[in-house]
Amino acid sequence: MAMKDRMKIRERNKPEIFDLIREVFGMNTQVHTGHMKAVKQSVLDGTSKWSAKLVITVVSAQGLIAKDKTGTSDPYATVQVGKVKKRTRTVQQNLNPEWNEQFYFECHNSSDRIKVRVWDEDDDFRSKVMQKLTRESDDFLGQTIIEVRTLSGEMDVWYNLEKRTDKSAVSGAIRLHINVTIKGEEKSVAPYHVQYTCLHENLFHYLSEKEAGNVKLPQARGDEAWKVYFEDTAQEIVDEFAMRFGIESIYQAMTHFSCLSSKYMCQGVPAVMSTLLANINAFYAHTTASTAQVSASDRFAASNFGKDKFVKFLDQLHNSLRIDLSAYRNNFPHNSPEKLADLKSMVDLLTSITFFRMKVQELASPPRAATVVKDCVKACLKSTYEYIYENCYELYNREFQPDPSEQQHEQEDGANGPHAKSLDYWTKLISLIVSVIEEDKTTYTAVLNQFPNELNVGQLSAATMWTMFAQDIKYAMDEHDTVRTSAEYMNLHFKVKWMYNKYIEDLPEYKDVTPEYPSWFEPFVMHWLAENERLSMDFVHAAVDRDELDGFTKSSEHAKFSCSVVDIFTQINQRFTIIKRLECPDPEIVNRYMRRFSMTINKVLLAYADRIVEKFAKYCSEKTISLQACILMNNIQQLRVQLEKVFESMGGEGLDEEAADILKKLQGSLNEVLDQLSKIFSKSMIKRLHESIQQLSNALADIKGGGNIALGQPTQKAYVESEADAVLAPLMQVMDSNLTELNTNCEKTVLKRILKEMWKIVISDIEKVVVLPPMNDMSEAASADIGNRNLTPKQCAVLDVALDSLKAYFHAGGQGLKKGFCEKSEELKSLRYALSLYTQTTDMLIKTFVQTQTSQDAPSVRETLGDVSIQVDIFTHPGTGEHKVTVKVVEANDLKWQTTSMFRPFVEVNMIGPHLSDKRRRHTTKSKGNSWSPKFNETFHFILGNEDEPEAFELHICVKDYCFAREDRLIGCGVLQLREVVERGSCNCSCYLGRHLHVDDTGGTILRILSQRTNDEVARDFVRMKSDRRSEGGDG
């Protein structure tokens, strides 16, 4: 009666249990009541009618403890049910024995237990003694005790070997195959594990249906929370069934995991499944002292749930997870925290599956969770890109809600994808790609953070999107022509660059790699540069015209150049800023851009310089300093200054060699233009300077007195300095007024260039006007005037001091020209040389002339007017050292002369050289009537003396037409220098005749100096001969 009362109390206190079971299995009240009565009667009948047949197969054992001295054991097993005990054979020296022996038992009491014990068989003397004392001669290796009531059906189970007492030392497990047949239940009742599975699954699905297909998760806490599968009533049902019929907790867990796998996308379920599988892994993979020698795969193979069954649905789950993760952006929206939590748990679940395969199944190399997740993310990103690529406009309008007019424009274009007529598609596509990358960076990276060293979703998203985008836009740009303006391509270039710099360049796979995107846009950037070159050329002309219209005024109060320069370089710098903002990472492409841009700068600045040169002359005045002329020169200088700044901003010395060469050549060209303008400007000042230098010459001529000046004496030095100041006064007055204005209006560099030109003009004009005035026709009036201008030693000294003052003036204490420039200038050297010649004797000057003028016959080479055949012999007296030159004039040939009157040619032979003032210097032949190839055969002798060698002399030969009562007319002249005869001693040659003789600057200087020595007969004759020219009358 006690049992019956307990059943009634149970039914009364827990009616919800019985109601839930009835509802789960869908039974009506009448049928359920009938089943309850049958169960109660079965319980009341007790165990008197209960019996079962047991077939127990002892399969094997693993990880047994070693008991023998040899480090092994000789194990055998005993199986006892009730009072019946059976024994396996002994396996010698093996800690992992296999028996595979089957035993049959009958059991008539459900409370009986099966005792399985493992022993180490011993056969030595000590064991026999122990057998008499304890009845156990063998060593105990472990045992397991199984309640018969917990068995049903057929089972293949590993049981851990347990201790018999606290002092026992055991390890390992034993595998048993048990088949239980209960009387009366041979066909109608399933094994208890199958019954439990049915109960658990029906409870799970019934409760899910009540939650509209969702899973209501129990609120459990603590280390054992994973064993709580349902809320109170349902959990109590499954726990009681498991306790009564020996259902292992691991079997319960695996059954619930199997149920959850059908609902893994429900909220919160992935986290529960991940925890559950982690504990299943721990159960099989984590060893204890008693299971250390048993592999996890063997323990799992002995699972009552079924190895193949669990592995199969775990593989199916793994595949399903991969499919859903490959669409994580749709399945787990970034704006749903609950779904994001499920996404994170799903990755944890994948990790647990991988751990299960590696540790429990002991697979060699299962797919790593990080690799699987990475592949899934890639697949999702690829499908996402393809979707936004094909639906770009629609998604952009939905995501960013642009202006309606822009949408209308897209509809008019009728374009759903990229096409050559519009670049707007690509900018919208970039915006969509960036929004995807941002979501992955800010949301999904933080969620999928289980593999920080192997997976960064934000980086993977950026890399995958960029790879696909790069391929598409590259092909698109290759197919594009320039139907759109180049500015649109530049804007797209900037958008792509921004995307790359912000999201791509820091990715590990792109670090230290030159990106490819600049090459896609290179043709369009080049086209843009060409367009801007054309615009810049138009802008240059407009800027100059506008500047000219304004009168080339200064651009600001403190500037010395006009607005056109500012405008041009503002435009150039704007263009360069755009190129610089491209931040092109490919040095080769940058070099090509720089070369093209350098060509544009070169063309623009040279065009501007040409316009300035074209207009410059009309702004130069001979009377005053023109402000506009100064500004124009300053403009060119400012071009050079700004060009240098542009050069530095483009890279300076690190700039591409070809581009740098273009800019350096341009700098040189602008320098030449500035020199050209400086010369033109300085020429406008020549008249003013010439007048002042003429006054200087007159003032110098007024200085009387001869004799040498000793500048070492203070009184004479002071006198010369005062005279020099007085002589320079007119020149200084003009220069002061001009330079003051120039200093105010010109840049320093421009002023120095003008100073250089002024220096050259002043020094050259002093030489030409003061020191070496032009040679005249040697008339009596002219000769008197030249004589008055012949410089005395005192005048030379004054002029020398005046030159020093001029140098100091132009140097201006370091603010003007460098002293080195003044000293090394060719003009000053020539002037000083001319002054030095004033102190030389006529003989010395003539000797210098002969030695330096080696090309006097040059005119006869260009135009031959005939030739004279002569024989020259040189004899040197061995005693006195005097030289005697014998000249035989043989004939003249092919004289070019036309006349209507009597033609009477004759030859004049002149000896030119030093120390001939007291000797005969000229011989003439007799004239021949009307013969253009006359024969003379006349011999003449010249005595040279012994002061100089024959190399210091030359023969001046001329043919003239004799005229009675008037001056003979020159037909032609030539020179034979005796240095050509000295080595041979005798020479037969033809002296070709020219219209005049050629002299260089040195010869001209000597002639000008000698021309002023009108009282010197030798000098006068020398100048006359060297200056004589054929008249035009003989040419017909």
Amino acid in position 277: L
SS3 content of the chain, % helix, strand, coil (to 5): 55, 15, 30
Whole-number pLDDT of residue 86: 93
pLDDT digits (tens, 9 = 90+) for 288-327: 655 555 678 877 877 778 888 899 989 999 999 999 999 9
**What are the structure tokens assigned to 272, written together?**
């529960």
Q: Which of 702-706, 758-762, 889-893 has the lowest mean pLDDT?
A: 702-706
Whole-number pLDDT of residue 783: 37
Whole-number pLDDT of residue 469: 93
pLDDT digits (tens, 9 = 90+) for 185-227: 655 567 778 888 999 999 999 999 988 889 888 888 888 888 8
Q: How many H-runs (helices) and E-runs (strands) does the chain carry?
A: 36, 16
pLDDT digits (tens, 9 = 90+) for 622-677: 888 888 999 999 999 999 999 999 999 999 889 999 999 999 999 999 999 999 99
784 falls in which pLDDT band (50, 70, 90)? very low
135 falls in which pLDDT band (50, 70, 90)? low
Q: How far apart are CA 33 and CA 17, in angstroms?
A: 14
Q: Which of 68-72, 120-124, 942-946, 987-991 has the lowest mean pLDDT?
A: 120-124
pLDDT digits (tens, 9 = 90+) for 354-412: 999 888 888 888 888 899 999 999 999 999 999 999 999 888 888 887 666 555 555 44
Range 813-833 average pLDDT? 88
Whole-number pLDDT of residue 777: 41
Percent of the chain at pLDDT above 90?
Answer: 40
Whole-number pLDDT of residue 707: 60
With tokens 């540069």, the residue in question is 529
Q: How far is CA 583 from CA 136, 308, 489, 506, 575, in A?
A: 91, 61, 15, 15, 14
Q: How wide is the angle at C-alpha 973 spanned by C-alphas 970 and 977, nearest 5°?
A: 155
Whether pLDDT at 262 is above 70: yes
- Identify the CA nearest to 481 among candidates 390, 419, 555: 419
Q: Angle between the 369-390 and 457-479 helix axes, to the nearest 10 degrees? A: 40
Range 927-938 average pLDDT? 91
Higher pLDDT, 115 or 149: 115
Whether pLDDT at 415 is above 70: no
Q: Which of 21-35, 784-798, 977-991 has the lowest mean pLDDT?
A: 784-798
Q: Whole-number mean pLDDT of the chain?
A: 85
Q: How far apart are CA 190 and CA 153, in angstroms?
A: 7
pLDDT digits (tens, 9 = 90+) for 266-287: 999 999 999 999 999 888 887 6
* SS3 label, residue 989: strand
Highest-scoring range by mean pLDDT, 159-163, 553-557, 761-765: 761-765
Q: Which of 169-173, 343-347, 849-853 has the lowest mean pLDDT?
A: 169-173
Percent of the chain at pLDDT above 70?
Answer: 89
Whole-number pLDDT of residue 786: 38
Range 728-738 average pLDDT? 89
Whole-number pLDDT of residue 719: 83
Strand-pairing partners, residue 158, are: 175
DSSP assignment letter at 225: G
Q: How far apart are CA 35 and CA 22, in angstroms?
A: 10
pLDDT digits (tens, 9 = 90+) for 493-537: 999 999 999 999 999 888 888 899 999 988 899 999 999 999 999
- Identify the CA nearest to 564 among candidates 574, 550, 580, 577: 550
Written as one string, the DSSP assignment of 828-880 is: HHHHHHHHHHHTS-HHHHHHHHHHH---TTHHHHHS---EEEEEEEEEE-TTT
**What are the structure tokens assigned to 273, written together?**
């499944």
pLDDT digits (tens, 9 = 90+) for 855-880: 999 998 888 999 999 999 999 888 88
Q: Cβ neighbours of residue 592 under 8 Å, at least 6 residues apart? A: 522, 526
Q: How far apart are CA 991 and CA 995, in angstroms?
A: 13
Range 24-41 average pLDDT? 71
Q: How remote is the C-alpha of 339 from its chain's centroid?
A: 44
Backbone angles phi, psi at 419, to 5 degrees: -155, 160
Longest dimension (CA), the chain: 188
Whether pLDDT at 44 is above 80: no
Q: How far apart are CA 368 and CA 351, in angstroms?
A: 8
- Identify the CA nearest to 892 among candidates 978, 808, 958, 982: 958
Backbone angles phi, psi at 708, to 5 degrees: -80, 155
Higher pLDDT, 741 or 481: 741
Strand-pairing partners, residue 179, are: 55, 154
Whole-number pLDDT of residue 788: 44
Whole-number pLDDT of residue 787: 41
Higher pLDDT, 343 or 69: 343
Range 233-242 average pLDDT? 88
Whole-number pLDDT of residue 450: 86
914 falls in which pLDDT band (50, 70, 90)? very high
Whether pLDDT at 782 is above 50: no
Whole-number pLDDT of residue 893: 93
Whole-number pLDDT of residue 779: 37
Contact 550, 563 (CB under 8 A): yes
With tokens 């139907």, the residue in question is 483
* SS3 label, residue 944: strand
Whole-number pLDDT of residue 285: 82
Range 453-471 average pLDDT? 92
690 conformational bin, left if phi > 0, alpha if psi -120 to 50, beta if neither? alpha
DSSP assignment letter at 952: G
DSSP assignment letter at 363: -
Whole-number pLDDT of residue 1035: 64
DSSP assignment letter at 141: E
